[in-house]
Structure 1
């Protein structure tokens, strides 16, 4: 939340509690504090220590970036660093990401930040970029915009309505979980893109399906992928916490063969 430092920490904590659909009693039990003390914090009658802010953030599953903002709102210094991937300090992170991306080949895999901007990708991702408008490939490339834009990948997605509903639903849940206004704006933008296929309200598997597939037309072939997301398990750096590896694995033997032969 961009305006975190301009608002009272109690008000912000209350918003996060309500966002997580927790009562004061439920949160106080989880955080092992009294309901009275939590009420005083939320109403501004008590200024929480940095430890108290972090304890509440932990139980509210507040993202690291927003935890720093809540600490600032309470008059404390941020504790989570915001690394730059281009620096020498993050060289091991870059190397680890590159190793994972390379290991996925010949299957497409890419790294994105919280805003779904492309950070890195392996060579196999090139099949998704072929034919996309050059304007959409100017850095920073937003992979969700690229996937649903009519001048991007969308014309080559055979099940566009199904995939679009999946993407928008996932983005909606992410925006709700993080309270990131940038994700809210991205969701509004993507919803405005045209789609000539029906979009299911509820994801239902077809016969033999275990996940929503991406059905993609490439060089006269119909390829089917299932996507998988990987994140760092114990991040203490904001940048690291916001990175995710999105991989696309073959959903059928024909796709696997086509990718191995490419």
Structure 2
């Protein structure tokens, strides 16, 4: 088991910061950072969280740091339907509903879908029911030939976008489950190339006899204090041309 100092050093290296960089950001001495990392100084819980904040450590991993330092976890992890998270769940539902008639969905750190709006339903109707057994994974849904992959015209581009996003996610916060999913679905293969676009990558979907061109944005909670909320993302899809807009608005 790693000590808190070893874990903090790993996060510092991951963020490509020197001890001096971290010390300045956290308003402590570089010597103190060095002593913590080498185990010659036992940091308080407040200091652990102070350094973790400057290193942008996810809440789940901040609990790991606290445990390694001998303290109780600080952040709870409740299901989104927990009473304590009702306001947050309502906010997610409102965002999804407000985005109609365009598709939008919410998913967690491993890309398991938490919630969708009604505009997603027509696309799911064309998916193999086996892929819709909970938990429904957005990566599998988008890349499996039994899922949406057979509807996506520019599948290679979309796969490249997924790969880049998951690689950035793993670089920011390693996760064994997500890493296994990456190896299963997204590991580079012969002939793979980066997606090519002057502005942004559109997902081109063949649906209802039309080719729909969509782009997406990601929304997350700001300043969450619960692990579930820290890991929720909402992906909202927008029409990239008038024909696609007319399809959804008609």
The TM-score with structure 1 as length reference comes to 0.91
Gaps of 5+ in 1: 1-5
Aligned to 2:193: 200
**1:133 pairs with one of 105, 128, 140:** 128
Cα deviation, residue 194, structure 1: 8.2
**Deviation of residue 131 (structure 1)?**
2.0
Q: Is the 8 A contact 2:106 2:114 kept in 1?
A: yes
> Which residue of 1 is the match for residue 208 of structure 2?
219
Tell me the residue number matched to 1:163: 158
2:242 aligned residue: 253
Deviation at 1:58, TM superposition (A): 0.7
Which residue number corresponds to residue 73 of structure 2? Answer: 78
User: Which residue of 176, 183, 192 corresponds with 2:178?
Assistant: 183
Matched residue SS, 2:212: strand
Q: Does 1:239 align with 2:228?
A: yes
Out of 26-35 and 235-244, give the one that drifted further: 26-35
2:105 to 91, 106, 110: 110
Distance 1:53 1:192, change over 3 A: closer
CA contact (8 A) 2:76 2:227 kept: yes
Pick from 86, 90, 110: which aligns with 1:91? 86
Partner Cα distance (1:17, 1:192) in 2 = 26
RMSD between aligned residues: 1.6
2-structure distance, mates of 1:160, 1:57: 38
Q: Are the equivalent residues in 2 in contact too, given 1:149–1:193 (CA < 8 A)?
A: no
**Residue 37 of structure 2 corresponds to which residue in structure 1?**
42
> For the residues of structure 2 that align with 1:194 and 1:222, how far apart are their CA atoms?
27
- Distance of 2:241 and 2:249 partners within structure 1: 13
Figure out how many residues of one structure are paired with residues of the other and give that number: 250
Residue 127 (structure 1) shift: 2.8
CA contact (8 A) 2:157 2:196 kept: no
Matched residues in 1 for 2:28 and 2:80: separation?
38
Tell me the TM-score normalized by structure 2.
Answer: 0.95
Structure 2 residues without counterparts, runs of 5 or longer: none
Q: 1:113 to 1:65 in 2, by over 3 A?
A: same
Tell me how far 1:199 sits from its aligned partner. 3.9
Distance in structure 2 (CA, Å) of the matches to 1:225 and 1:131 = 18
SS in 2 for 1:15: helix
Distance 2:147 2:175 in 1: 25
